[in-house]
Amino acid sequence: MALSCLTRALRSLTLSQPALLSSQAAARSNLGAQVPSSAVIQWRGFLTTASLEQNRIRWKQREKYTIRPIGMKKTGGRDHTGRIRTHGIGGGHKQRYRWVDFHRLRYEANKEGQPFEEKVVEVRYDPCRSADIALVAGGERKRWIIATENMQAGDIIKTSGVIGRMAVSANEGDAYPLGALPVGTLVNNLEVRPGKGSEYIRAAGTSGVLLRKVNGTAIVQLPSKQQVQVLETCIVTVGRVSNIDHNKRIIGKAGRNRWLGIRPSSGLWQRKGGWAGRKIKPLPPMKVYVNLPSVSTS
Amino acid sequence: MFPETAQRLKTAAPLFSHTAFLTDLRRLSAHGGARRHLTVGRCLTAKVPPPRNPRERVEIPGLEMVTYGERMHYVPGLAKPATQHWERDYKDPRYYKSPPAHEMLLYKDKPCYMFNQRTSALEGVRQAAWLTKTQVIPGLPAQLLSPAGNPENQIPDQDERVQNAIKHARFWDTTEDRPRKEKYSNTLLLNLLHLCATLQSSHPAVGRRMLAENYSLATTWKRGEDLLQIRGQNGLLLNSMDPLPEVSGKQEVADTADHVLDTFYPVSPTIDLQKVHVYKEEVNHTGFRDDYPYPHAHTLYFLESADPRCKLRPEQFRTKMIMFTFGNALARAHKLYGTRPQRLLDRPVTVQSVGTNGRIFQFMVFQLNTTDLSGDDGIKNQMWLDEDVELYDFAKVRPLIKKKQVKIPAGLAGYKPETFSKFLALYLHGAV
């Protein structure tokens, strides 16, 4: 079938003018008929190979948000070339991905700009991360968020984007901009660029500390003691992330690690170099995510 | 070439035209003795990839793109010729692409919230009560249950026959070890209905009823600013020629005006309802034609396992029961009194419903007092709900033995006769 289609298409590719007998060619030239060079049949090319794309990342290309768990394809540490990029990953229990909404301050349609409240419906284990996730419902939508330490079903959590003159006494689980919180609060799910979504302090039991607020920016200490300066309109959640005893768990046996998808490391003895051993060094300089106006020397 | 390979090839290679493909097939297969078995070097059963969005053409005014269209072959560096959009001048259902939602004829800016058979409402019975402006009263009304004590309204050998019905549904109705839940719950319901219907000799009004299945219900009403609709194919409905008598008197109906509906801030009452912009306004259809001899809905019977894809929790199942019972009552009221909202109906419409999962029953009586549902105040509808009534404790095929002791014996255990008497009372309501 493919052959016949191919031949049919290629047949249309052949001469734009059919082969004429010499008498007909003479007649045509006598008549002075202009051979239209553009009297060609428009056609478009076709692909002679099979479909080129792979099925690797199609599971995560869904555009519409859903709370339904999505079936996941494990990579085994392999990248697009097929070779191992990260060792020690592979196997493990099958997992379904629950799409967590990291933009805590996401307004519903037609309700922009107003602080809103949501009710926690359920707090459950997530196989894809160390923290627990919470299903929250507000207005007409439901979404998954990272649960904080003492979050339970039935709690009401508030999200607001308003920075008032006075600092808000925030409850655990609420989300406010950094400028609205008092100095010294424990925070998690930190955004470093306003509106980008939280990328820091999301692991189980972690929390950052709001150190100080300096005209329009705020300085937060991350769990690694690294300090970070961000705009005060970045949204954070108050409290510690859930599942605080995560670092105290004992794996117990090699099999449990394999269930988690962690493959054994290479058994080859390798001489430890300068990277190993305890290092005592000063903290790296504070990372600034704000474009401060530079002092120009005129 | 075999037809199934042909089918898969067709799906795997959408580029080639179907008719040409068929003619080639026919030519090949009708070639007489020498059949060519064409093979292709790729998997024939692949999933069809989703259509890729074509690269966006950037039109720069004043700049004319030189295309390779005239040259009849691809030339690197020249632009791809733009193809004109071509529409078939006749309608071919095989190649019909439906227009996007905002171009459809029935598109409206105001959304409508639809409740259907697969809706799983987050807040459960409270949400259904708010949407239908109903006061929930736990327990069935006393005047419904009082005739159950009368031996005239009982089936001879009632307990034994009901136990036989349960055993038939749970043990005997299969050639395998045990029947599956969908099967036994359905069989049990039909057996119980059959038992109730044997009282036709002593209660002639039972004969003026008819069972109906899979009819499509549609009702519309306004609740505040939102337009709500119930649509769906119901399960089993017992219709009757005569309407059900009202359960609560005029005084109780007037007292419902003082009742305040439960709200559940911050969750909106329309959560989990399907929001559509393309809908028909003012649809009110009971599912039957006007000249149907049994117009009044008497009891609805819901099975938890009716839709295998949609598993509802008990609370959500009760919500579905409430909404569809209300839908039937409202459709009837709209037909009798018109679609304009009426503050107080002269004769309230009463509909009952029973839901089961094969062992646990939910009984409900719904009385529609008003069709004026836009505000939160005023007379409310009433609903009597009896939840989670067990018919029997265990019906085990193999006994449960722990540490060499029989904990739960095989067979039917823990039969409760009160449940069937409630079932019978609901059945005989209006016929006693």
pLDDT tens figures, B375-425? 888 999 999 999 999 999 999 999 999 999 999 999 999 999 999 999 999
CB B235 within 8 A of CB B327: no
Q: Which amino acid makes up residue B218?
A: A
Q: How many helices (H) and strands (E) does chain A have?
A: 3, 13
Average pLDDT, integer, range B73-97: 90
Give me the pLDDT at residue B147, please.
87
CB contact under 8 A, A1 and B72: no
Cα–Cα dist A36/B279, whole Å: 55
A158 touches chain B (CB under 8 A): no
- Provide the H-helix boundaries in B114-178: 125-132, 142-145, 158-167
- B205 phi and psi angles, rounded to 5 deg: -65, -20
Q: What is the mean pLDDT of chain A?
A: 86
pLDDT value at position B85? 87
Q: Write out the E strands in A152-242.
A: 156-159, 175-177, 186-188, 208-214, 217-221, 227-231, 235-238
Residue A142 near chain B (CB below 8 Å) = yes
Q: Closest partner residue to A118 among B74, B266, B275, by Cβ? A: B266
Please give the DSSP secondary-structure letter assigned to residue A37: T
Q: Residue A168 contacts by C-beta under 8 Å, 6 or more apart in sequence? A: A160, A176, A180, A181, A182
pLDDT above 90: percentage of residues in chain A: 73
Mean pLDDT along residues B88-97: 91
- A140 and B271: CB-CB below 8 Å? yes
Contact predicate B188/B358, CB 8 Å: yes
pLDDT one-digit tens code per residue, A219-258: 999 999 999 999 999 999 999 999 999 999 999 999 999 9
End-to-end CA distance of chain A: 76
Q: Hey, is the C-beta of B74 within 8 angstroms of any chain A C-beta?
A: yes
Would you give the DSSP letter of residue B134? Answer: E
Calpha distance B179→B170 (Å, rounded): 6
Distance, CA of B205 to CA of B431 (rounded, Å): 5
- Rounded to an integer, what is the distance from CA B92 to the centroid of its chain? 32
CB A110 within 8 A of CB A151: no
* Whether the predicted pLDDT of B58 surpasses 90: no
**Residue B106 contacts residue B278 (beta carbons within 8 Å):** yes
Query: How far is CA A250 from each of CA A91, A204, A244, B325, rounded to the nearest angstrom?
Result: 20, 15, 14, 54
Q: Say which residue, B331 or B44, is predicted with more confidence.
A: B331
Which residues of chain B does A135 touch, with a Cβ-Cβ cutoff of 8 Å?
A: none
* pTM reported for the whole predicted model: 0.84
Tell me the pLDDT tens digit for each residue of A40-49.
455 556 666 6
Report chain A residues whose CB lies below 8 A from the CB of B81: 42, 44
User: CA-to-CA distance for A35 and A29, rounded, in angstroms?
Assistant: 9
The token pair that represents B69 in the structure block: 């269209």
From residue A144, give the alpha-carbon distance in Å to each of A136, A138, A192, A239, A291.
6, 11, 21, 17, 32
- Selecting from B20, B70, B268 the residue whose C-beta is nearest the C-beta of A5 gives B20
**Helical ranges in B137-263 per DSSP H:** 142-145, 158-167, 181-197, 250-255
Contact B345, B368 (CB under 8 A): yes
Question: On the CB side of A119, how many CA atoms lie within 13 Å of its CA?
Answer: 16
d(CA B266, CA A121): 11
CB B263 within 8 A of CB B224: no
Tell me the pLDDT band of B122, cut-offs 50, 70 and 90.
very high
Determine how many CB atoms are found less than 10 A away from the CB of residue B430.
21
Burial of residue A52 (CB within 10 Å: 0-12, 13-18, 19+) is: exposed
Residues 6+ apart with CB under 8 A from A291: none
Task: Please tell me the distance from the alpha carbon of residue A281 to that of residue A279, in angstroms, as a whole number.
Answer: 6
pLDDT of residue A45: 61
Q: What is the pLDDT of residues A201-222, one digit of tens each?
A: 999 999 999 999 998 899 999 9
The C-alpha atoms of residue B155 and residue B127 are separated, in whole angstroms, by: 38
Q: SS3 of B319, please?
A: helix
What element of type H or E holds B400?
A: strand B400-402
Tokens of A140: 């007409």
pLDDT score at A17:
46
Using a CB-CB cut-off of 8 Å, the residues of chain B touching A55 are 47
Residue B23, H or E segment: helix B18-29
Q: Give the pLDDT confidence score for residue A297 in this predicted structure.
A: 57
Residues on chain B touching A53 (C-beta within 8 angstroms): 49, 52
> Averaged over B187-215, what is the pLDDT?
93
CATH topology of domain A100-246+284-288: SH3 type barrels. (2.30.30)
A71-110 residue pLDDT tens: 999 999 999 999 999 999 999 999 999 999 999 999 998 8
Mean pLDDT computed over B238-246 = 92
Collapsed DSSP state (helix, strand, coil) of residue A160: coil
B276 touches chain A (CB under 8 A): no
The alpha carbon of residue B79 is apart from the nearest alpha carbon of chain A, in Å, by 12
- Residue pair B337/B389 in contact by the 8 Å Cβ criterion: no
DSSP state string for A81-120 = TSSBSSTTB---S--EE--B---SS-PPTT-TTS-EEEEE
B120 touches B391 (CB < 8 A): no
Distance between CA A155 and CA A147 in Å, rounded? 11
Which H or E run contains B221?
Answer: strand B216-223
Average pLDDT over residues B201-226: 92
| Residue in B252, B214, B207 with CA at minimum distance from that of residue B233 | B214
In angstroms, the CA A237 to CA A175 distance is 4
> Among all residues of chain B, which has the CA nearest to that of A9?
B16
Do residues B292 and B345 make contact, with C-beta atoms less than 8 angstroms apart?
no
* pLDDT score at B12: 45
pLDDT, position A30: 56
Split at pLDDT 50, 70, 90, the class of B41 is: confident
Residues 6 or more apart whose Cβ sits within 8 Å of residue A284: A226
Which of the two residues, B148 and A20, has the higher pLDDT score?
Answer: B148
ipTM reported for the complex, 2 dp: 0.83
Instruction: State residue B27's pLDDT score.
Output: 52
Distance from CA of B271 to the nearest CA of A (A): 4
- Taking alpha carbons only, the member of A150, A124, A149 closest to residue A136 is A124
- Whether residue B283 contacts residue B232, with contact meaning beta carbons closer than 8 Å, is answered with no
pLDDT digits (tens, 9 = 90+) for B1-34: 444 544 444 444 444 444 444 454 455 444 455 6
What pLDDT is attached to residue A46? Answer: 67
The pLDDT value given to residue B150: 87
Query: Which of A107, A110, A140, A141 is best to mutate for the B interface (most B CBs within 10 A)?
Result: A140
Which amino acid makes up residue B410?
A
Give one DSSP letter per residue of B344-363, joined into a string: S-SS-EEEEEEEESSSEEEE
Question: What angle is formed at CA B294 by the lines to CA B291 and CA B299, rounded to 5 degrees?
Answer: 140
Is A28:B43 a contact under the CB 8 Å cutoff?
no
* B44 or A22, higher pLDDT: B44
A63 lies within 8 A of chain B by CB: no
Smallest CA–CA distance, residue A71 to chain B, in Å, is: 16
In A96-135, the residues whose Cβ lies within 8 Å of chain B are: 116-119, 121
